Amino acid sequence: MSFAEVYYNTYEDKNLAWCDYVVFGGMPYILSLESFEEKSIYLKNLFEETYIRDIVERNKIQNNSDILDILLNFISSAVGSLTNPLKLSNRFLSENKIIYHITLFLNIFLILKNLIYYIVLKDMI
């Protein structure tokens, strides 16, 4: 649901509506839940059941769903930092496996690749 739909159908206070929308998004079922804990549990379960299970089943990955979850949490927490497969492989798996898992995330648009242009190259473009 869009913010307008969430606000006009559920909230009287626009600031409170925006705060909840930014934190929990616009999933329709979220609006029926009361507490922060219920909403958080619902979104975590939805994420695990939808994205992680889908990646595992489609790619026939065995015994690695925990690794996928840990890797995705690590990548998500590094927003704004430079991260590359070699840097991640020092903490987790081999570089090839890291590249494989990151490619799976990229293929379902769970993460996006951000290309960095250096100032010197910008002048050449």
Q: Is the pTM of this model over 0.85?
A: no
pLDDT at 9: 80
Contact 98, 88 (CB under 8 A): yes
3-state helix, strand, coil in the chain (%, to 5): 65, 0, 35
Cβ–Cβ under 8 Å, residues 53 and 66:
no
Residue 21: other Cβ atoms inside 10 A: 20
Q: Residue 64: pLDDT above 70?
A: no
Which pLDDT band holds residue 82 (cuts at 50, 70, 90)? confident
Alpha-helical regions (H) of 59-94 = 65-77, 85-89
pLDDT band, residue 41 (cuts 50/70/90): very high
- Per-residue pLDDT band at 124 (split at 50, 70, 90): low
Q: CA–CA separation, 119 vs 123, rounded Å?
A: 7
Whether residue 8 has pLDDT greater than 80: yes
